[in-house]
Amino acid sequence: MKPLFTFIILLLSCKISAQNNDTILLTLQEVVLMAKEKSIASKQAITTKETKYWLWRTYRSNYQPQLSLNGNLPAYTKTFNQVVQPNGTILFQPVHFDNSALNLSFSQSIAATGGTIYGTTQLQRYTDFDQKNTLYNALPYGIGYTQPLWQYNSLKWDNKIEPLKFNESKQAYIESMEQVSINATGYFFDLLIAQVNLQIAETNLTNTLNIQRIANEKLELGKISKNEILQLQLEQLKARKAAGMAKRDMEIATLNLRSYTGLSSLDKISLELPAATINMNVETDKVLSEAYANRSDAIAFVRLAAEAKRDVAKARGDNGLNATLTANLGYSKSAPSIEYVYQNPENQQLLQMSFNIPILDWGRAKARIRTAQANQQLTEYTIEQNKQIFVQQIVTQVTLFEMMKNQLVLTAEADSIASEKYQIARDRYILGNLSITDLSIAFQEKDQGKRDYISALRDFWGAYYQLRYLSLYDFEKNEKITYK
């Protein structure tokens, strides 16, 4: 997806260069793509995605064979050690030796049982500098198995939960990018509304000046009163004030859009009015099915339930009754020289079970289990409530989208009527058969009609991108939304 973003940005750059040197013409889709490519929010989403990926890799490494080399080389000692004598007294004897050792081992965890199979090879050299004596001890090879008994198996539960977390993080990344689209749309329409308000204010000021010029001519002919002139002067002051405020709002909205989308160019920005229709059909059942298939929240429902079960299993496993079975088999030998320690080694075996059984814990284990079970029940209720909210949000958004489509048609008609009505009122005032009050009302209705239309456009496109966010589905292309 990133190469596609780069390609579109290059196309956008070509389009920008084709405009006037000091003006950039942008569409809504271009602003959204710029935000996805350059905004800090999109870069944060990418970084979070990468972090989750490496956490996933860390989890996967727990199930892979581990190979390690450890030892003490050198292990030189020169000191006094206490030595217990046959009669029970203690003497401090000087010691001067090197006791170096190397151990190469591998291990493999078994998720199904929680046990670990391992193998090792060891070599140890002991040199007594006082006695001028050297002795070698080797374990050419040995294998073993360690099995916890009646304990919590973290590997088994991680194998159920971590894949859910990873899938959840991938869908959360897509949601973050769609949230960038929603935010960019908001900044786009903030600037578009500010530009439209400035255009309205400047047009009104021009019209007011023209009407005032005509009114002054009428005043000289005695066709209107001084009061109407004063009213027009007041309208002119209002128009100048509105133009100044609209220019200030446009500068602020431009700065916000530049900051969010990462647009470095200092050229002026001119926005293209978005289309009033989208070629797509939206059905509630389709949106719900896609949302359950794609949203991170839907995965989180399953994950939270699994985590609650895991906590109960952990409480049962950590009840104080612990036992570990260890068995290993190998060969070992000691010799005064290294070449002999690997000749005819002797058999070495170990079978051991260590355990810890609590006799009296004053109900601690039972309390932990009951707490985990209560939390599991609470989690189930919370999941059920969140599912209801999940469904309600989608049903509401589908309804809202359809309402916005109808509202946009109505506001477009109202805008057209208000503009035509103002033109008629303006012509009638020039001909002298309309009062200044009626003309002022027509002014306001025209301006409000235009603002209402832009607001309806904003609601319509906002509902569109919100619908994409809630379903992670592109209803124009009829495909799931993905990012690489």
Supply the DSSP string of 38-104, one letter for each residue. H-HHHHHHHHHHHHHHHHHHHHHHTTS-EEEEEEESS-EEEEEEEEE-TTS-EEEEEEEEEEEEEEE
Residue 351 has phi, psi (to 5 degrees) of: -135, 120
| Residue 203 pLDDT | 80
Residue 292 has phi, psi (to 5 degrees) of: -65, -30
| CB atoms near residue 39 (< 10 Å) | 21
Give the CA-trace dihedral at 144, 149, 152, 156, to 10 degrees.
50
| Residue 206 pLDDT | 78
| Residue 225 pLDDT | 62
Which domains does the chain carry? 2-59+158-306+374-480 (1.20.1600.10), 67-110+115-152+322-357 (no CATH)
Count the residues in the chain: 484
User: To which H or E segment does residue 15 belong?
Assistant: helix 2-18
Q: Using CA atoms, how far apart are residues 49 and 52, in angstroms rounded to an integer?
A: 5
| CB atoms near residue 93 (< 10 Å) | 11
Q: Using CA atoms, how far apart are residues 33 and 453, in angstroms rounded to an integer?
A: 25
Q: Is-contact 475 281, C-beta < 8 A?
A: yes
Q: Which residues of 378-391 are buried (b: 16+ CB within 10 A; e: fewer)?
A: ebeeebeeeeeebe
Per-residue pLDDT of the chain (484 residues), as tens digits, is: 443 333 333 334 434 444 445 788 999 999 999 999 999 999 999 999 999 999 999 999 999 999 999 999 889 999 998 988 888 899 998 889 999 999 999 999 999 999 999 999 999 999 999 888 999 999 988 999 999 988 899 999 999 999 999 999 999 999 999 999 999 999 999 999 999 888 888 887 777 777 777 767 666 666 666 676 677 677 778 778 878 888 999 999 999 999 999 888 777 888 999 988 888 888 999 999 999 999 999 999 999 999 999 999 999 888 878 899 999 999 888 888 888 888 888 888 889 999 888 888 788 888 989 999 999 999 999 999 999 999 999 999 999 998 888 888 888 888 888 888 878 877 776 676 766 667 667 767 777 788 888 889 999 999 999 999 999 999 989 999 998 7
| Residue 14 pLDDT | 39
Angle between helices 436-471 and 154-221 (to 10 degrees): 170
For 84, 113, 155, 159, 355, the CA distances from 151, given in Å and listed in that order, are: 41, 10, 12, 17, 11
Please list, in sequence order, all residues whose beta carbon lies within 8 angstroms of the beta carbon of residue 64, skipping any fewer than 6 positions away.
Answer: none
| Residue 361 pLDDT | 79
Nearest to 262 by CA among 5, 4, 1: 5
Please list, in sequence order, all residues whose beta carbon lies within 8 angstroms of the beta carbon of residue 274, skipping any fewer than 6 positions away.
Answer: 27, 28, 457, 461
Q: Is-contact 9 37, C-beta < 8 A?
A: yes
Q: Using CA atoms, how far apart are residues 184 and 34, in angstroms rounded to an integer?
A: 9
For 17, 175, 314, 471, 472, the CA distances from 282, given in Å and listed in that order, are: 38, 19, 45, 11, 13
Q: Is-contact 150 322, C-beta < 8 A?
A: yes
DSSP letter, residue 339: G
3 state SS of 222 = coil
Task: Write the Ramachandran bin of 49: left for phi over 0, alpha for psi from -120 to 50, otherwise beta.
Answer: alpha
CA angle (214 as vertex; 209, 216 as ends), nearest 5: 90
3 state SS of 326 = strand
Q: Which residues of 259-280 are buried (b: 16+ CB within 10 A; e: fewer)?
A: ebbebeeeeebebeebeeeeee
Please list, in sequence order, all residues whose beta carbon lies within 8 angstroms of the beta carbon of residue 430, skipping any fewer than 6 positions away.
Answer: 211, 214
Nearest to 440 by CA among 249, 233, 245: 233
